[in-house]
Structure formats: structure tokens, C-alpha cells
Structure 1
Amino acid sequence: MTAPTPEYRHSKCYANTRGGCSTSISGEHYISHALIRLYTFDDPDVRIQPTPNYRIPVAIQPKKFVANVLCAAHNNGLSDADRTALTFAAFLREIALRYKNGAGEWGAPEEVEISGDDFQRWVLKLLITHAAADVYMDKDGTRVKTIVPDEAIDLLLDRAMWPRTWGLGVTGDLSNSHLKFDPFTQVETATSNWWSAAPLIKHEPRLLFGGIVDLAGVSFTLCLFNQSEALLHDGEINPLRRVIQRPSALSWVFDGVPKTVRFRWSDPWKHLPITFNMRR
């Protein structure tokens, strides 16, 4: 890989807004390669069949599930975000596999700590990659050409501080049917149905406004706008209804025993813990 230069902007790199590109383009995985390896038990012979919106008509090796939308320098610079998502998913998946949808053991209290900043960046990166690769589809099956705002790139590359009313969120209301919160009682979340990405798109112009990303059975909202009003709107159609922004921790408690993911945040905003009480 050639070294990045401050002035160079690779034409195929979506993160080229302020330069700093290398001259080589790299394959950015639609979903982190390490996560695919985790959920396929690192089987070297596994093949995946992407859905039609990815325009890949045959089953492929996971390493080929990529879009050429980032230069090597910017891709490598986001590796901490991928590692953080892997730590989150591996922790919850291991518990789920032992719990066996209630037929196994819940065990002793367990806890892991990850960077909330890096996890927030991972969610943003996944949404931007899909937009830059032009794979989002409308309800009628037509392709949605989506503009990625420059502000999103600055946040992704840690060039700007997230505004208080933007950013990551998790459901604070279990009646919100749009958002998942249970990694343990549906076996599919530990095997086949372990991730998804859906954008929030402003219609005119078609601007990426955020989205909803599922990982390991948990939904995360990501907003690139002031979501204060949306959080309070009680309409059933509203996926942001009563979302809690940037939690300090997510805990799942069964028979008084917690399994907890703690998030480290560098911003000055208030962070609240969320607890989900589980029953068989």
C-alpha cells in the first residue's frame, strides 16, 4: 500500500472529502469479515449468497463480499471499529450458544467493556458503505442512489465531535416493534439472522440521514440529525420512538444474574444504563 498524502483524493474512496487517501483502492466488506468468520465458525469452505440488491448472482467466499468504495489508508484507519463490533458480537453469541434458547445454562455474571465511540463509528461505517456502494433498495425494488453528507465522513474519521442530539441509540421501550433487544431466546440471532442494515433517507435530496443496524440480536439506531422530537413522537410507525441515546451499559438479567456490555464514551453527554429483565 502506498502511503497516504494529505492532498490526494482517490476518486473511488467515499472518505476522500479532505484528502488523506492512498493511491490503492481496497475491498471494504459490507459487514466486517471477522464477524462473518465468527458466525460461520471460521469454516474455510463456507460460501454465502448475498441478496439481489448486492448484484452478486453467485455464492461467494466471505472475503469477496466487498465493495470497492474505500482507499486502503482510510480502510485500515477504521480497523478499531471492526474489532469493537467483533468483541460485542462474540460476547453475546457465546452466551447465546451456551444458553441454547433456555435449554442450556445462563451461568454466572459476565461483563465486557467496549468503546462506545468505536462502536458508533462501526454502525456509521456499515450504513455509509451500503450507501456508497449503491445497494439500498426502495420498497418497490428500485435502487436508491443515496448521497453521503460530508459531516458523516468527518464523524466517521473522528474529525468532528458528535452533536448531543445525533448518534447511536437503543430501544428504551419494549413495545417499539422496529427495534430488537433480545440476543438470547431466538437461535437464529446466533446462527443465521445475526445482522441487517436499513437506512434512514431524506427524500429530496436523497441524503443518508442515519439508519438501523442489527447485530447479534440487538438493534442500534444511528441519526445524523437532531432526533429530539422523533424520540418523543408516539406513532407506531416511528422507529425512533423512545430510543435512549448512547447508553452507558446494556444488561440482560435472568434470575438476578446479569450479562452486561459496558460502553466507554469520550463525549461529555449523559449516559444511562439499560436493563432488560428476561424470563423463560
Structure 2
Amino acid sequence: MLRNCCLKQGGELRPVGAVTRTPAPTTGIRNKGCYAAAFADCSADISREHYVSHGLLKLLTIDGKIAIDGFPWQGGGTISSVSPAALTGKILCSRHNLALSPLDAVVSRLLQRIDQFHHEFIHSLRKHQNRFFLLNGHDIERWMLKTLCGAVASGNAEIRTEESNWRPPLEWLRILFGEEPFPPRCGLYFHSEVSDKPYIERGFKFVSFFNKIGGVYGARISLNDERFVLAMSAPPEDLSESFIRDHAYRPQGLRFMIDSCEKVVHFGWDDGLPHRGATIGYQTTDIGSQL
């Protein structure tokens, strides 16, 4: 079964990517409220879109609220508890919103796996079993791009610009809707070695990256304390002087470990590059204290 759907030549595991193109024929409509209007393939209506995936927010919600951080309407360094309904904006027509929904489903599965691993480590300790799950890495980084576009277009990301009607560059839209790949060295980065996690901070954190010359060029997104970085401008080949110097580009997967047990989320990539995994270790004593 795995061989038929995900095992490629050379032994590489890569599931089929999510299809995010709108169905033919094109509509010829440019809905001025949709940030993908440049394609002239909109529907006439505008949907109220969760710029952070609704399914993801439901997973992170506790007693109807979600802990968030990093948005400009929060005080600096302040963690707020809000309803998922607060993280919405009229930024996509229903046609483009529906086309991107498979990316929301993929990231929900990723968080479910992270949640499952945390739960098993906390409540089972040494009695748990090794586990392995497979996701398409390009879908995860395209979801990050969707989140960045939605947050900026809705006015919920700090970019320090006078531009009141920001729209994603056409190149970004082509990547998001599956027409083009990310440029070299752009896309997903993850901390390559996280060891001895003392606790798990539940919630969603978002920080946009921007400068006065290039504008918006990326974001950092945290899911339950696991930090992902999206680069839409290629970092230098030598990362030693950059803030992502300890990050892996397009990690092979996330390897969660406690003692001799490991649970893995494997990311499949279709770029022909070598990939190294990221390891997240847990302290037995500290995890036991959370029981």
C-alpha cells in the first residue's frame, strides 16, 4: 500500500501533494476583495476566511478560547485568549477559499500528530510505542504561505508600511495555488536540534518578517511550542550569521524522543535535495511533573 502511493524511485517516501488549483473553466472575475484576484478566476462572493486554519484553531481551543501571540493588536509580548471567530477576515472569494482548503486539512493532521505525541509522552512515559506518520512537506510550507498572505491581507500582521491594500505578489500566488515551486532556499525551515524540552506551551504564535526595502519576506509560526519559519526571500547560503543559523531547510521530518522511544512525522519532498531531520527531546522528570 505504501509502495503504491508514496514510495518513489530511490526509496524516497513522498505522499501526493494537495491539489489547490481552481477547477476549469476560469470565471474571468476579478473580485476586488479577494487577494487572489490577479488570476481573474474568482467567484462573485467573498467568504469570511479564517486566516489561521479553522480546523487548526479548533484543535488548539480550550474552553472555547485559544492562546495566541504575535499579532499587532496585542500588546508586545502579551499572550491573549480569544475565540477562533476573532481570527477571521474577508480576504478570499469562496472559489479560492475552497481551493486552498486541502492545505488546512494537512496542517490539522500535523498538529493532531504533535498533540498525540505530547499526550503519549506525558501520560504513558516508557510504555508508549514507536510511531511513524507521513506528510507532504510542500503542503506544510504552502499552508504557512497561506497563513502569511491571509494575516497580512486582513491587516493582522505587522509590516510597518503605508500600504493599506496589500496583496501577495503574483509569484507567491502561483506557488500557493500549485502552479510553481518555491524558489531555491525559500520555504520551510525548522530548528534542527531541540533537546530536553522542559514543558509544552499550548497555543498559536505568529510573527511576520519584513523590512523597508523588500517588504514582507516571511514569518515564524509556532504550533504548541514547535517553531516553523517560512522564508520567501532566499537566505544566504552561509547561515552562520543569520537568525536561522541553527535551522534545517526542509527537514526530513520531526523526530520526537524520550529515552529510547521515538515518534516521527516524516516530510516528503520533491526537490532532489538531501534532507536532515529535526529532533525534539523530552525530559522524563519534567514531563512526569505535568501529569
1:4, 1:22 within 8 Å by CA — same for their partners in 2?
no
* Corresponding letter in the other structure for 2:228: F
Equivalent residues, number: 253
Task: State the match for 1:195 in structure 2.
Answer: 204
The Cα shift of 1:123 comes to 0.8
2:68, 2:205 within 8 Å by CA — same for their partners in 1?
no
1:230, 1:240 within 8 Å by CA — same for their partners in 2?
no
User: Which consecutive residues of structure 2, in runs of 5 or more, have no partner in the other structure?
Assistant: 1-23, 75-80, 285-291
The Cα shift of 1:95 comes to 2.3
1:27-68 residue CA offsets vs partner (Å, 9 max, x unmatched): 111321112222236x6xx2569788459xxx9753453110
SS state at 1:220 partner = strand
The Cα shift of 1:216 comes to 2.5
Higher RCO structure (Cα 8 Å, ≥6 apart): 2
* Corresponding letter in the other structure for 2:104: D
Within the alignment, does 1:156 sit opposite 2:176 as a pair?
Answer: yes
State which of 186, 196, 205 in structure 1 corresponds to 2:199: 186
1:6–1:208 CA distance, 2 compared to 1 (3 A)? farther
TM-score, normalised to structure 1, is 0.78
The Cα shift of 1:268 comes to 2.6
Within the alignment, does 1:171 sit opposite 2:191 as a pair?
Answer: yes
Task: State the match for 1:259 in structure 2.
Answer: 263
Task: State the match for 2:244 in structure 1.
Answer: 240
For the residues of structure 1 that align with 2:244 and 2:238, how far apart are their CA atoms?
6
For the residues of structure 1 that align with 2:119 and 2:33, how far apart are their CA atoms?
40
The Cα shift of 1:274 comes to 2.4
**Pairing 1:81-96 to 2, within 5 Å after superposition:** 81-96=103-118
For the residues of structure 2 that align with 1:24 and 1:92, how far apart are their CA atoms?
36
1:136, 1:144 within 8 Å by CA — same for their partners in 2?
no
Task: State the match for 1:177 in structure 2.
Answer: none
* Corresponding letter in the other structure for 2:213: E
For the residues of structure 1 that align with 2:133 and 2:183, how far apart are their CA atoms?
26
1:55-102 residue CA offsets vs partner (Å, 9 max, x unmatched): 9xxx975345311001111111111111111111111112223333xx
TM-score, normalised to structure 2, is 0.76
1:173–1:111 CA distance, 2 compared to 1 (3 A)? closer
SS state at 1:232 partner = helix
2:190, 2:248 within 8 Å by CA — same for their partners in 1?
yes
1:29–1:69 CA distance, 2 compared to 1 (3 A)? same
For the residues of structure 2 that align with 1:247 and 1:163, how far apart are their CA atoms?
17
Task: State the match for 2:13 in structure 1.
Answer: none
* Corresponding letter in the other structure for 1:226: A
**RMSD between superposed Cα atoms in Å:** 3.1
Please, which moves more after superposition, 103-112 or 241-250? 103-112
SS state at 2:201 partner = helix
* Corresponding letter in the other structure for 1:91: R
